[in-house]
A and B are shown apart, each in its own frame.
Chain A
Amino acid sequence: MNGMSRIVKTIASIIFPFITIYGLYVIAHGHLTPGGGFQGGAVVASGCAMILVAYGSVWTMGKIKEKNLSLFESLGAICFILLAFLGLGFGAVFFNNFLVGSDFLFGTIPATGSGLADINTGGVLPLMNFAVGLKVIVGLFVIVLVMAYASSVKEGKQ
């Protein structure tokens, strides 16, 4: 499909960084405020779909090949399973939370009861949030891109 007029393209390019930063904030603070990997990934995928609608699917498919995008989705899935197996290696259970209480990366434990907490808490939860968030962003964007491009090509080779 063709893109839209010049005014729509300019405004979409201006708004797109703000949407991306808001989505990454929701992903990164998933263990403190409502949100997490799936919700923040949906927000960023909506911003990418807005760019696709404003610029047209033919131009976007020329810039980004979907083979490179599928590599990122597989990377997110492999990181998630790797973190689960590392729990098996350090404890004795699959999906063990091996970073709580240790002083390596995300180790501190917040005080019980309501109150603020810093981002250094949570154990293995923020890393899993990033892996799932990357997977959801790339997965939803690839679905929308493939369906938009394939419905605009006239049937010739079927």
Chain B
Amino acid sequence: MSKRNIAAIVFFSIVAVFFIFSSLLMHPFGSPDQTDMDDDIINNAQGETGANNAVTSVVFDYRGFDTLGEATILFTAVAGVILVFRRLKK
């Protein structure tokens, strides 16, 4: 085995042990730790935003700035794909 294969196997086994060890030490599935912010959002979302959907009001009203960044990423991806396949016309 070359040195590259030995290094790859050591790296992969370290990461695998870390992931399996930490997935067994997480909090029990079904009881999250801190829920104060989400309880405030669930109780006040209908009165403040006027929408029946709490997830849409979080995406566009309480955290609207992240949606602006995501729209920018989508625009940049489309511009990048068109740029790769452009042929310079003489």
Contacts and interface: CB of A to CB of B under 8 A. Distances in A.
Given A36-B56, A95-B61, A123 B49 contact: yes
Given A30-B56, A95-B61, A143 B78 contact: yes
Interface string B78-90: 1001100101000
Interface of B: 46-53, 55-57, 59-61, 64-65, 67-68, 71, 74-75, 77-78, 81-82, 85, 87
Interface in A96-115: 97, 100-101, 106-110, 112
A110 B52 CA distance: 7
B73 to A, nearest CB: 10
Q: Which 9 A-B pairs give the minimum distances between C-beta atoms?
A: A31-B51, A95-B64, A150-B85, A122-B51, A100-B50, A139-B78, A109-B50, A123-B50, A121-B50
B47 A109 contact: yes
Interface residues of A, number: 43
B39 to A, nearest CB: 15
B50 A110 contact: yes
Interface of A: 30-34, 36, 66, 70, 73, 77, 80-81, 84, 94-95, 97, 100-101, 106-110, 112, 117, 121-125, 128-129, 132, 135-136, 139, 142-143, 146-147, 150, 157-158
Contact of B55 (A34, A132, A139, A157): A34
B87 A157 contact: yes
Given A31-B53, A128-B60, A80 B71 contact: yes
Contact of A146 (B55, B59, B65, B81): B81
A143 to B, nearest CB: 5
